[in-house]
Structure formats: C-alpha cells, structure tokens
Structure 1
Amino acid sequence: MAEILVLYYSRYGATAEMAKQIARGVEKVPGMEARLRSVPAISTVCEATEESIPDKGAPYATLDDITACTGLALGSPTRFGNMAASLKYFIDSTGPLWLTGALAGKPGAVFTSASSMHGGQETTLISMMLPLMHHGMLILGLPYSETELLHTTTGGTPYGPSHLAGTDSKLPLSDDEKKLCRALGKRLATAAASLCQA
C-alpha cells in the first residue's frame, strides 16, 4: 500500500476532523492508505518539551513519515492569514529533506479552518503551499467540477478545503466541507497513484 501523509496541527479539533475526512477520501482509491500525523503545540516563551506520544489524536509526525509518503496533505488553523506556528516550526525542521529532494515530484495539497468567513483562509492555504513548492512538490487544489464550491455557504476554496468554525470554534463541519475534504483526499491519492505508475 502506498501512503498519503495527512499532517496537521489542530487546537480545537476542526482541523483534525478535516484531516479524518481527507483520509477517508484517500482510502477510496485502491492501493492507497492514509497516515494521520499531527504536530505538538509550541510555547511562545521558550522551547517546551512534549511527551513523544500525544494524550489524544494522531501520533506526532517525524521526518521519516514525510520521507515515506507518496503524497502529502498539510492542514492548519488560520492564524492571522497564516499557518499556525506549531506547523511552521515542524515544516522548518524539514531542511534535511529539502537538501536530498525527498519530496520533489510528489503531489501535495493543503486545508485550513478559521473562526470567521473572511479570516484569511485562502492566504493560510497559500502560506502552506510555499514550503511545499520549495520542496519541489506538485500542488493540487480543488476544481469547480466539485460542485460544492459553487454553492457552499460555509467553507471551501479552489486552493483547498476550508472550514468555517465560528467565533467560538465550535461549529461542526458542514456537509459541503466534508465532501470537499473527501474530494481532495481522493484527488491527491489518485494523483499519487498515477505518479507511482509513471
């Protein structure tokens, strides 16, 4: 089985739920499997030490998880129109993989959650695309043939799935958001499978 790494940071659970939906889409493609991984929170005061296994949720990612994947979906809540510092901190540790070209030519995609409708979802998605492009990844978005993009009143962008979490970060994923997450997972896995056969 080829693996798609679904790597995310989630503070209130919405990004984690999006990751699970993307994993469901990945596993609709024969021969493809999703590997869910998260990153720990970081301290704003000093570098803190987390246990190597989180209390809940997906295990923490390692560079080996990234090296082994055939494709990558990267997710973060929106922080002032940018990815969360915890995910950026992990991505910044991937310099050794950049030196070897470990991700070059592999498909990548991004997803996000934000508390407000116009809270910077698209710029957050782009902020996550930039390091993937530096790694030489092939960036995938969502085409408008995914008709939920045309009529959703919640989240969803052609750059990748998004979720409107509400000001208290408690809104569940809408049906449209779930469908777009699964569509991205399936699209990413299909592309990875095609590239593996080439």
Structure 2
Amino acid sequence: MAPVLVLYYSRHGSTKRLADAIAQGISALNVPVILRTVASLNDTENQTNDTVPVVTMKELEQCSALALGSPTRFGNMAAPMKHFIDSTSGQWIKGALIDKPACVFTSSSSMHGGQESTLLSMMLPLIHHGMVICGLPYSEPALHNTLSGGSPYGVTHVAHPSLPAPHQLSEDEKLLCIAQGKRLAKLALKLNQQDSSEN
C-alpha cells in the first residue's frame, strides 16, 4: 500500500506538532506514512529548523491519502501552502488525487482566530481534486471535552501565550490528532482494498 502523506507548513512548530500526532495515529494501524513540508516563500522565514523534506509532486501523486496542515493566517491557509496547492494543476488535469481520502488541520494563536474558516478553505482545492474529505465525528469524546483546539472539520491547536504550555498540544488536541490519523488510515485501507478487489 502506498504511504499516507502528512503534508504541512509550520512557521513556529505548532502545526508540525499536529502533523506528528496525526502521523502517530496513522502508524498505529500499521499504515505507512511519510511527513513532508512545503517550501517557504523566502529565505528569511525560518520554519522549524527540522529535517523534514520538502514534498515532491511524485509523492503527492502516489500517496494513498493526504493530511494537509497549515497555520491560520487571517482565516485562511498560509501563503506557502496556498502557493504549493496552486502549483498542482498538473495533478488536477491527470486526476491523480481522485477518490483518495483527505483531512485538514490548523493552528492559531487565539481560540477564535479563524481556525474553522481556514479548515474549510483548505478543503476546497481538495474537493476540486476529487478527494474524499474526512472530518472527525462527535463520537470522539475529546470533541465534547476540549477547551482548546478541536473541530469536526479537522484537528486544531490553540497556541495562546496565556496557556501554561502554549506550544505543546493539550491532551484533548493530541487525542483528536491520533483519532484523525486513525480515521484517515482506515479510509485509506478500505479504499485500497476495494481498488485491489476491482483490479
């Protein structure tokens, strides 16, 4: 089975922490997963000083599912992620992502900083690509309990300076990330099995 691609942009590390926890959920079901980032738009943007490679178009095309993450910027995805998505018209023409499951995730520095509108804006190009959007059902207890991040549209993180550990995921946020990763992996497995039986 082709790996699930967890693709993100992270300026200060919060979105990367979400990506890592989602990948943990995917791996928990023994589904292969790769973590990738997108390039910054200029050299002065020091991302997270990590060693995660920049995604290639081949990796995007060959993934079995996609988790897409970005920090919130004025209620929308960050410019480097938008720039990358705008460069995928070739994959759209080929239909490379049609029928693959996808989820979205984001972080912001305030509770009402546009997280849900960011998640929705990230879904739109994925729908244009023909992907199957995977949210989080309210059967997840942490969605009812969270006082920080979390949404049925996708997992989120609130990195407010007043919080005890603003850059660390809360327990509810981490639980939701793992649940999101597991749900995405389950859908990828089912669709992969269905494709195999049809061929």
Given the two structures, how large is their TM-score scaled by the length of structure 2? Answer: 0.91
Alignment correspondent of 2:6: 6
State the Cα deviation string for residues 23-71 of structure 1 (Å, max 9, x = none).
00001113x111000012113xxxx699xxx952310011111011000
How much does 1:84 deviate?
A: 0.2
Does residue 19 of structure 1 match 2:11?
Answer: no
Counterpart of 2:65 (choices 71, 85, 94) is 71
Any gaps of 5 or more consecutive residues in structure 1? Answer: none
Alignment RMSD, CA only? 1.8
Identity across matched positions, percent? 55
- The code of the aligned residue for 2:82 comes to K
**Residue segments in structure 2 that go unaligned for 5+ positions in a row:** 195-199
**Is the aligned partner of 1:183 residue 2:182?**
no
For 1:6 and 1:106, locate their aligned partners in 2 and report how far apart those are by CA, in whole Å. 13
Q: State the AA in 2 paired with 1:121.
A: Q
Secondary structure of 2:32 counterpart: strand
- Give the equivalent residue in structure 2 for 1:135: 129
Q: Which of 156, 164, 186 is matched with 2:158 structurally?
A: 164
User: What is the distance in 2 between the residues matched to 1:17 and 1:125?
Assistant: 17
**Residue 119 of structure 1, aligned match among 102, 113, 116:** 113
Q: Does 1:144 find its partner at 2:143?
A: no
Task: Give the C-alpha shift of residue 92 in structure 1.
Answer: 0.7
* TM-score calculated relative to the size of structure 1: 0.91
What do the CA deviations read for 1:102-151 (whole angstroms, capped 9, x no partner)? 00000000000000000000000001100000000000000001110001
- Name the structure 2 match of 1:42: 41
